[in-house]
Structure 1
Amino acid sequence: MARHPWRWRLPAAMMMATVLVLSLVGSAQAANPVITSIYTADPAALVVGNTMYIYAGHDEAAPGGTNFVMRDWHVLSSTDANTWTDNGAKLSIGNFSWAGADAWAGEVEPHNGKYYWYVPVNGKGPGWMDIGVAVGDTPLGPFTDAKGGPLISDSTPNSSPLNIDPTVFTDDDGQVYIYWGGYWGPRAAKLKSNMIELDGAVVTPSGLTNFWEAPWMFKRNGTYYMVYAANDTNGCVTSSSYACQRYATATSPLGPWTQRGVILDQVSSTTSHAAVVQFNGQWYMVYHTADAPGGGNFRRSVAVDKMYFNADGTIQKVIQTKGGTTPPGNNKALTATASTSYVSPWESLAAINDGYTPTGSADRAHAVYGNWPQQGTQWVQYDWSSAVSLNQLRAYWFKDNQGIDLPASCSVQYWTGSAWQNVPNASPCGVAVNTFNSVTFTTVNTTRIRLNITSRSGYSTGLLEVQALSP
């Protein structure tokens, strides 16, 4: 779990937690965040049969809270990675008689027909955090304390400066490994077959450049991958108060590791915690943001997005998607480079293709594109490095009642390779408020598409999102 020391070392918040309660056990349709009935964080993913499970912490901080309030863990499940069910709290601080507080980031690992849930908690003895382990007979439990005390604590030789965020991995030969750590202190060890004892010395893995916390380990095509949170400003974040997700690779489970790059940019919460899993032939990254209604740094929510590998085994950067129901077709805008004739210095061109679904045309909860004080015809454009097939463009107009209004008209053009041309057989370009306006047309193959926007007299125009969809 991402924890910044200047926050963690604050006194525990003395407050009544205000819980967002829509339902304690319910389903959510395809969208990010995947569950909004409660706030969920620090996800770990597990696939069993035809079901993907997410084991997540439960944020219960009050609105405006300045510390983490976490007392139990929930299990989310899906059979399609789109529709998610919250199965309720399946483990809590109360399951560990020796634990005092702080249900932080855990992970479940199957072994010998049982499921072992490794979790960091604030023990009653000296030290910051301990790692305990619970066990259950099914992915949904019930789970009970498997050891009766910490597996890892400050008294463990060579333990991390902060013993949090365990990731547990079983290699092809059956050997189980555990990685954990925070405050730039990654640690690793083997586990005995009973899953509740370390097997040998704790080691400090090398090569996890800029490691901050939240390791996640997996294997693909004989290569070991380690995903972890970093907060450096060397291509990761602009402020070390936030974090990104870097990854490293190795040829053996204990390293040495080679850092490969950033695969998840800074999210909307200061903390970042990710898991990676393959499900139904597709790889996914599971992470958390502050994007749910009422969300924040201590009221986070789980998101799920697809992840792709290059032919050489390197990982493409994950594109974060947000908001309501996934639109029909394949939104190629998410992989495009945007440009424009003009954007106001205080607005954001990047807002138009970040996957956000607005709540209405006056939605200022997110970044927006606007071209005040320009009038007449302006444009926004998407470019791709290679040709894509498109047959629909969807625009969500921004209207602030302060000089930016709905346009008088609009049109869509594509690049033929030598000139701009109107898309063939286009439907009318709509200018309705509070909805996506779709322009459909005969499929074109192009590297560029442009939305031309003509303003009403005396007004400028704006956009909240523009989607470019393939057949």
Structure 2
Amino acid sequence: MRNPLKLKAPASALAASLALLAACQSTETKQETTAATAPTETSKADTAAAKKYLSEPLVKEIYTADPSAHVFNNKIYIYPSHDIEAGIPENDKGDHFAMNDYHILSMDSVGGKITDHGVALAVKDIPWAGRQLWAPDAAFKNGTYYLYFPVKDKQDVFRIGVATSKSPAGPFEAEATPMAGSFSIDPAVFQDTDGQAYMYFGGLWGGQLQRWQKGAYDANAPEKEPNGAVPALNARVGKLSGDMKHFDGPVREIQILDEAGKPLLASDTKRRFFEGGWLHKYQGKYYFSYSTGDTHLLVYATSDKPTGPFTYQGVIMEPVQGWTTHHSIIEKNGKWYIFYHDTQLSGKTWLRNIKVTELKRRADGGIETIVP
């Protein structure tokens, strides 16, 4: 979060400010405590400070992040990560993001009451899983709901699994093995108007995408992506089979191009893909949006096809408070919304809270930049 500007004031203004500060310091605030693993209730002073945020956390009883939102049965269901305090030091591999389970949330409409449906899937319920249940997504087809999740296997390699349920709120039962041909993190499933479903996935650094450049996992590859004047590593896309549990054909890398039709470079860190891909369709155009990671932007590119190539268009959201940024975009009752997260409740980058705000477009279909 940016530091506030330091401005010089005349003596009279300074005296008034000191008087106001003294009055504020004498104001009593009430603190309410909850369980050690849950966020604290905001005090009166905190409520005033919270006005600097565009929107408020949707859930305060638990920490939530990476919200994948969908409209099922005319209700909004949110599939977020469930952040916990694991006591693990921060590092670039993301070991401190040590999530153990998923809670599914729902609401009838944006601004409505949130329901927490409890634990829908946990690491212990996944036969092949080792640790770290990161950002999931969901889909529906032929009476079945599918939950797609990245988790490290017992060799500490991220794979993507799938679990099924007859209810959008779960609980979900995981398949015995990960999806063949899957790797890395952040699965996002888009179903086109013709019924065909596609999965987009991948994430750099802790997401291990840089370790798959040779077609197989390379434990000796660098911890971070290539840099300099070389093409950036991009998300992967694969068509899903009719049963929604397998890839129908090979997984391939997406192309993201600049305005001249050339691939974005690894050095172009304010535009290149890092993680958190999402696809939505608007007026016949396919919008692939994603996080730039270490430059903390949400950006987007468009194409006439769901598999690209995509041409970079601009910034959707400026940096949030906290290191990570991750989102989803849905339409409900004729309006478009973006779900995202920040660290308003905790101030800690690994203990996040999900939010939502309206997504607005220009007449040409371009997305207006949001300042969170």
Normalised TM-score (structure 1): 0.56
Q: Does 1:50 align with 2:77?
A: no
Q: 2:211 maps to which residue?
A: none
CA distance in 2, matches of 1:176, 1:170: 4
Q: 1:284 maps to which residue?
A: 337
Contact 2:200 / 2:235 at 8 angstroms: preserved in 1? yes
When you count helix as a share of all residues, which structure comes out higher? 2
Q: Closer, same or farther in 2 for the Cα pair 1:90/1:21, shift >3 Å?
A: farther
Find 1:73's aligned residue among 98, 102, 106: 102
TM-aligned CA deviation for residue 170 of structure 1 = 1.1
Q: 1:150 maps to which residue?
A: 178
**What aligned pairs does 1:353-392 form with structure 2 within 5 A after superposition?**
none
Q: Which 4+ stretches in 1 moved above 3 angstroms?
A: 62-65
Question: What SS does structure 1 have at the residue aligned with 2:104?
Answer: strand
Find 1:229's aligned residue among 263, 266, 291: 291
Q: Does 1:99 align with 2:151?
A: no
Q: Closer, same or farther in 2 for the Cα pair 1:63/1:31, shift >3 Å?
A: farther
TM-aligned CA deviation for residue 63 of structure 1 = 7.3
State the Cα deviation string for residues 117-139 of structure 1 (Å, max 9, x = none).
Answer: 110001113x5200000011111
Q: Does 1:182 align with 2:203?
A: yes
Contact 2:237 / 2:253 at 8 angstroms: preserved in 1? yes
Q: Which runs of 5+ in 1 are unaligned?
A: 1-16, 24-29, 232-239, 321-471
When you count strand as a share of all residues, which structure comes out higher? 1
Q: 2:242 maps to which residue?
A: 193
Contact 1:295 / 1:301 at 8 angstroms: preserved in 2? no
Find 1:262's aligned residue among 315, 321, 344: 315
Question: What SS does structure 2 have at the residue aligned with 1:94?
Answer: helix
* Amino acid across the alignment from 1:247: Y
Question: What SS does structure 1 have at the residue aligned with 2:274?
Answer: strand
Contact 2:144 / 2:166 at 8 angstroms: preserved in 1? yes
Find 2:281's aligned residue among 195, 219, 225: 219
Contact 1:59 / 1:299 at 8 angstroms: preserved in 2? yes
* Amino acid across the alignment from 1:149: T
Q: 1:207 maps to which residue?
A: 256
CA distance in 2, matches of 1:107, 1:132: 11
CA distance in 1, matches of 2:87, 2:108: 33
Count of residues in Structure 1 that have an aligned counterpart in Structure 2: 279
Q: 2:50 maps to which residue?
A: none
CA distance in 2, matches of 1:91, 1:109: 15
Question: What SS does structure 1 have at the residue aligned with 2:124?
Answer: helix
**Percent of aligned positions with the same letter in both sequences?**
38
Q: 1:393 maps to which residue?
A: none
Highest RCO, 1 vs 2 (Cα 8 Å, sep ≥ 6): 2
TM-aligned CA deviation for residue 185 of structure 1 = 3.6
Q: Does 1:304 align with 2:356?
A: yes
Q: Closer, same or farther in 2 for the Cα pair 1:21/1:228, shift >3 Å?
A: closer
Q: 1:20 maps to which residue?
A: 38
CA distance in 1, matches of 2:253, 2:278: 16
TM-aligned CA deviation for residue 31 of structure 1 = 5.3
Contact 2:150 / 2:159 at 8 angstroms: preserved in 1? yes
Question: What SS does structure 1 have at the residue aligned with 2:256?
Answer: coil
Q: Which runs of 5+ in 2 are unaligned?
A: 1-34, 42-53, 91-95, 205-232, 258-263, 265-271
Larger Rg, first or second structure (1 or 2): 1
Q: Closer, same or farther in 2 for the Cα pair 1:170/1:59, shift >3 Å?
A: same
TM-aligned CA deviation for residue 93 of structure 1 = 1.1
Contact 1:245 / 1:262 at 8 angstroms: preserved in 2? yes
State the Cα deviation string for residues 101-123 of structure 1 (Å, max 9, x = none).
Answer: 10100100111111111100011
CA distance in 2, matches of 1:31, 1:315: 19
CA distance in 1, matches of 2:89, 2:63: 13
Contact 1:305 / 1:318 at 8 angstroms: preserved in 2? no
Question: What SS does structure 1 have at the residue aligned with 2:186?
Answer: coil
Normalised TM-score (structure 2): 0.71
TM-aligned CA deviation for residue 201 of structure 1 = 0.9
State the Cα deviation string for residues 267-294 of structure 1 (Å, max 9, x = none).
Answer: 11101101000112211100110111x3
CA distance in 1, matches of 2:138, 2:131: 20
Find 1:87's aligned residue among 114, 117, 120: 117
Q: 1:11 maps to which residue?
A: none
CA distance in 1, matches of 2:117, 2:169: 8
* Amino acid across the alignment from 1:203: R
Contact 2:105 / 2:169 at 8 angstroms: preserved in 1? no
Q: Closer, same or farther in 2 for the Cα pair 1:22/1:297, shift >3 Å?
A: closer
State the Cα deviation string for residues 143-201 of structure 1 (Å, max 9, x = none).
Answer: 101x311115xxx3xx66xx100011111111111110012441111110011111111
